[in-house]
Amino acid sequence: MNVDEAAGVFTDPRAYADNERFYAATAVLRRESPVHRVDHPRFLPFWAITRHDDVMEIARDSQLWINAPRPALGPRSQREGAPEDIPIRALVQMDAPDHPVYRHISADWFKPAGVRKLADRIAELAKRYVDQLAEFGGECDFFQDIAANYPLYVIMSLLGLPEEDFPRMLKLTQELFGANDADLARNTENSAFMETMLDFFNYFQKLITDRRANPTDDLASVIANATPRGELIGELEAIGYYVLIATAGHDTTSSALAGGLHALLQYPDQWRRLADDPGLVPTAFEEMIRWVSPVKQFMRTATADTSVRGVPIAKGESVLLSYPSANRDEDVFEHPDRFDVGRSPNRHVAFGFGAHYCLGTHLARLEGRALYAELVPRIREIELAGPVEYMETLFVGGPKKLPIRFKMA
């Protein structure tokens, strides 16, 4: 495979659905062309960055490398034919001086102390989902039935939404933000889609009005009443914030949970190791995040002429930070292609790095650890019950079908 063929994986949603192809291609790029220019007729040109050190170096310097004009490779970066993203400006589209101000609004909530307040609620939800698994009576689709729902319920709890609204929210987020996979595709032109959009906006508008009139101690209230730059946050901005939190915290964690179980079933010795020593749950979940790398890329754009690893990059050109590639970098990880539930240290960059470093890391870890701490001891036997399929995506993804057969302990 030559380097240009290899770089085709970044613009082909099917490549992310085929782990073998993706990791073989990015190994070639790391070795032979770690800063590689990609010219594709459907996208504006960009440089693919595949090595861990380079991803970190770029992410560290948020003055030289900004998010705003092109935060990720997606519809907005395409030359033609794709629908625009929803017109909401969220944290990932911001740079200083706005970014730190808006990030600060919710930052305390995501710190360990803030998230710990949710620990009991999350443990309760984890137990509920494992109980539900038991009720499937020995077979289910772990992604569809468990992993796709549990993280959204955690986020709804974080925002402080009442439980009776959860199913409606689940439907809305799936319809509006489903991955760009044919199986999950939506027709954004039809009136049903417009209705869903309206329902979504109405729901959050009502939430804002309500939390302004009766502030409580939940995150929804903090956002609705935030005063960035001394003035009450705009309604659209507040909605954008809710949407960011709901979407950033949902598919990412679902993918890590389901892809993590897939890895445990592909390497049954690792399942047994974890079952014999549940103290390994924290390192095991961290390894699942490295292994799956649910966020496939973010981009940065150069504010001045510069170079990466000696390759000149002009002001205004964009780089794509390939987190899954960086997380298999042989210079940083011992046996990077080995799934190791005890891996330590584990310097993965699946949560990004620098000014935009994932706000939800503590929450994601709490969720993942809670689910696996509950699941592993309660399962006696478990195996795959059919072919596993991964999502076609350019942005966030993991398994979309994970059929399992199991016996409870």
- Interface positions with ligand HEM (CB under 6 A): 59, 91-92, 103, 155, 244-245, 248-249, 252-253, 256, 289, 294-295, 298, 323, 350-354, 356-360, 363-364
Is residue 178 within 8 A of residue 185, CB to CB? The reply is yes
Q: Cβ of residue 354: shortest distance to ligand HEM, in angstroms?
A: 6
Q: Cβ of residue 135: shortest distance to ligand HEM, in angstroms?
A: 26
Q: Cβ of residue 103: shortest distance to ligand HEM, in angstroms?
A: 5
Nearer to ligand HEM, 281 or 359 (CB): 359
Residue that the structure tokens 């468990």 belong to? 146
Nearer to ligand HEM, 352 or 406 (CB): 352
Nearer to ligand HEM, 353 or 390 (CB): 353
Nearer to ligand HEM, 43 or 298 (CB): 298
Nearer to ligand HEM, 81 or 229 (CB): 229
405: which residues sit within 8 A by CB, 6+ positions away? 138, 139, 382, 383, 384, 385
Which tokens hold the place of 218?
């939940």
Nearer to ligand HEM, 33 or 327 (CB): 327
Phi, psi dihedrals of residue 139, rounded to the nearest 5°: -145, 140
Other beta carbons within 10 Å of 304 = 11
- Residue nearest ligand HEM by beta-carbon distance: 360
CA Rg value for the chain: 21
The residue type of 290 is: R
Nearest to 391 by CA among 13, 11, 7, 9: 13
Nearer to ligand HEM, 49 or 244 (CB): 244
CA dihedral 126, 279, 248, 95 (to 10 degrees): 150
Q: Cβ of residue 77: shortest distance to ligand HEM, in angstroms?
A: 16
Q: Cβ of residue 352: shortest distance to ligand HEM, in angstroms?
A: 2
Phi, psi dihedrals of residue 39, rounded to the nearest 5°: -115, 115
Q: Cβ of residue 120: shortest distance to ligand HEM, in angstroms?
A: 18
Phi, psi dihedrals of residue 80, rounded to the nearest 5°: -160, 165
Is residue 361 within 8 A of residue 248, CB to CB? The reply is no
